[in-house]
Structure 1
Amino acid sequence: MNYETTIRSEAAEAYRPDISQFDDAPAASRKKWIAIGIAILFAGALAMYFLVAGGENGAVGAGDDASQRPAITVIAPGQTTIAGMITATGTLAARREMPVGVVGEGGRVVSVPVEAGQWVSQGQVLAVIDRSVQVQQAQSSSAQIEVARSDARLAQANLDRALQLVERGFISKADVDRLTATRDAAAARVKVAEAQYRELLARNARLNIVAPAAGLLLTRAVEPGQTVGAGTPALFTIARGGEMELLAEVGEVELAQLSTGVAATIRPVGTDKDFTGQVWQLAPVIDAQRRQGTARIALPYAPELRPGGFATATISSGTVVAPVLPESAILSDDEGSFVYIVGKENKVERRRVETGLVSANGIAVVKGLAGTEKVVLRAGGFLSPGETIRPVLAKAGS
């Protein structure tokens, strides 16, 4: 046994490498080889760590069913007080438009002292009609009154004399009756002549075309020298008091949400100025073809409001306290509007709803939701009732 040990020791001595050559290597070279070795060891340890960690995580993920569910964004809307607004378009018009035409028998127009766009007062002359013939007729009628009065005075005098002679027996009772009738007829002719004269004066007064009420003169369709008569179309148009209105066309659903007295903001086309008005009348009928009705919005006078112009109205349709959802959360089909909510065990449930006012923040749900439910915000069209999801509550403002 000692022999073997001696032999192996001698063999080891015989094959011992000569490292004297490395003793002569520079110190920098030795440090380089040491650093390379340390880096290789570190890289191997790091690879082993990720290999083990990845295997552990993979085993957990494969056994966790929740990780396989789709992540769906949901929202809890709560209750919100919103002011409903309805936008409509329409045409500006005079609220009370008064056409003014020939009232009397007409004639040749002598002068027109007004222009369109002017303010006129009640009774102001708008057009003067030639009345030279009518003046002569009035003078003739006045003379007829004097003739009738003279005849009446003569008949009264004859009756007075006859009554004196009756007492003496020179005139019979029948003659007195005849003279009395003559006196009464003469007095009646006086009244007839006076009535005819007043009639002529009234006709002459109606020759001039006057403003029936104060307001803004919108149109003028007559010039001096023109002959007008009873069949002539309206010569002037007046907006009484200068009041304007917007004839806003509103859908039948929105019209049902409006009431008289609500405020509205009007913006005419071509201007960035807003005007405040008030709904004063709602159409009692709906157009069968367009399914729309008219909301008449009263407006005070302003130079920018011109009848016939086009304008946009924003009408307040009241306030309501209800859950408000974005449009993406509300779906619809043949059965109506509905939403998807997250029920027990994160299963999707279909909930039928009724929508109401529309605002800038969303659509009010007036029936079907209490506001505490978790409602699918988006991707509702890709879900089906009973499907299990992983709900992710949306942040405020998302």
Structure 2
Amino acid sequence: MMRHLSPLLAAALLAGCGDSAPPPAEPPRPVRVATAETRTGGEVVSLAGTVQPQAEVNLGFRIPGRVAERLVNQGDRVQAGQVLARLDRENEDNNLRAARAALVAAQAQLVEARNNQWRQAELLRTGFTTRVRYDQAVQQFTSATSSVEAAQAQLAVAEDRVGYTELVADAPGTVLTRRAEPGEVVAAGQTVFVLAREGGRDAVFAVPAALKDAAPANPEISVALSDNPNVTARGRVREVSPRADPVTGAFEVRVGLIDPPDGLRLGATVTGRMQVSEGGGIELPASALVRGEGGAAVWVVDPRSKAVALRPVEVARHGTTRITLARGVEAGEAVVTAGVQALRPGQVVRLLGEAR
């Protein structure tokens, strides 16, 4: 009898083992979404910068010496031709007197050589001297003439060196920095003053590479004083550094200010605003973009089932924080912006909130 019951019991046991409970349903994954918006204009970005002169020059003496006088201070406005500092000129004055004396001596020798040549010429004509003596007189006259020319050149150099003892502003401007004081010995060409020439001011910004590449050609930039936004000026890009800063990776961009008010003084902190893109499209936060099999894509949430689908898109413009799509998403659709890397097609999600 046991032999007849064993197969039945075994079949019952096997049937009981096959009726396992279904696996629990996966809970919806929390994500943050944004509603796709139709953008009619471009993105406006703001960057902080400073006002700097368009032309900044280092001024120094052309000869070495000891600074005797400093006639201007940092922040002073100077005019073209104004004396900024003087060197002790005692050595140069002595050299000038020596050069003048040398010229007088050379001129006296020239007069003597000229008279001797004239006498030898007369004697040679009457036969009372030789041709050799006459040629010697001509040579002495030529040598004396050269000596006078050399003495005149040395006098000009000495006069120039006396003039070089005065450091003169070559153009009107403002003294930004002074780097030498009276009594200090300076070398030739050593910077004594840094002068900001008048004639133009720039607003200088450190611009990220992505923003530099996205900027339109010849954009107009609005520049406002940071602590007083009512003080404004228009500007145009005047110069873009070809090399990025090795630390920040940003490029220096100089914006020439057009008729800047006095409030936009040198060194002031300003805010520049520029429209980096134009035209319409569907705009989304840049964090929504992922890499799909065929290129760029976004996760779109079905409004009824709350399931996500990976939608290929075509990106028209990349901004610093937002992107503009040419096609792939319709206005009003919900697009995942946070948690995009952990999703799979058809996965049900739970919305944490809607970021505009």
Q: Does the alignment reach a TM-score above 0.5?
A: yes
Unaligned runs of 5+ in 2: 1-32, 349-355
| Contact 2:63–2:188, Cα closer than 8 Å, also in 1 | no
Structure 1 stretch displaced more, 167-176 or 150-159: 167-176
The correspondence for 1:85, drawn from 18, 21, 44, is: 44
- Could you say if the C-alpha distance between residues 274 and 251 of structure 1 is closer, same or farther in structure 2, counting changes exceeding 3 Å? same
Matched, 1:244 2:198: no
Query: What CA distance in whole angstroms lies between the structure 1 residues aligned with 2:168 and 2:34?
Result: 71
CA distances 1:314-347 after superposition (whole Å, capped 9, x unpaired): 223242x23133539x7233444425388xxxx9
Alpha-carbon distance, 1:238 to partner: 0.9
Query: What CA distance in whole angstroms lies between the structure 2 residues aligned with 1:222 and 1:349?
Result: 70
Tell me the equivalent position of 2:129.
Answer: 171
Tell me the equivalent position of 1:313.
Answer: 272
Query: What CA distance in whole angstroms lies between the structure 1 residues aligned with 2:73 and 2:250?
Result: 37
Equivalent residues in 2 for 1:109-124 (5 A)? 109-112=68-71, 114-124=72-82
Higher relative contact order, chain-length normalized (CA < 8 Å, sep 6+): 2
Equivalent residues in 2 for 1:148-167 (5 A)? 148-167=106-125
- Could you say if the C-alpha distance between residues 259 and 159 of structure 1 is closer, same or farther in structure 2, counting changes exceeding 3 Å? farther
| Contact 2:36–2:283, Cα closer than 8 Å, also in 1 | no
Matched, 1:181 2:142: no
Tell me the equivalent position of 2:177.
Answer: 219
Equivalent position amino acid for 2:171 in 1: A
Counterpart of 2:273 in 1: which secondary structure?
strand
Q: TM-score, normalised by structure 2?
A: 0.72
Matched, 1:368 2:327: yes
Matched, 1:352 2:312: yes
Unaligned runs of 5+ in 1: 1-72, 389-397
Equivalent position amino acid for 1:214 in 2: P
Matched, 1:97 2:49: no
The correspondence for 1:137, drawn from 95, 98, 102, is: 95
- Could you say if the C-alpha distance between residues 111 and 287 of structure 1 is closer, same or farther in structure 2, counting changes exceeding 3 Å? closer
CA distances 1:45-102 after superposition (whole Å, capped 9, x unpaired): xxxxxxxxxxxxxxxxxxxxxxxxxxxx997856x54133222234443332111122
Q: How many residues align?
A: 310
Structure 1 stretch displaced more, 235-244 or 292-301: 292-301
Query: What CA distance in whole angstroms lies between the structure 2 residues aligned with 1:74 and 1:296?
Result: 36
Query: What CA distance in whole angstroms lies between the structure 1 residues aligned with 2:158 and 2:211?
Result: 57
Tell me the equivalent position of 2:25.
Answer: none
- Could you say if the C-alpha distance between residues 303 and 364 of structure 1 is closer, same or farther in structure 2, counting changes exceeding 3 Å? same
Q: Which has the higher helix share?
A: 1
Equivalent position amino acid for 2:136 in 1: R
Query: What CA distance in whole angstroms lies between the structure 2 residues aligned with 1:145 and 1:249?
Result: 60
Tell me the equivalent position of 1:253.
Answer: 210
Identity of aligned residues (%): 21
| Contact 2:298–2:335, Cα closer than 8 Å, also in 1 | no
Alpha-carbon distance, 1:160 to partner: 1.1
Larger radius of gyration: 1
Alpha-carbon distance, 1:106 to partner: 2.5
Tell me the equivalent position of 2:285.
Answer: 327
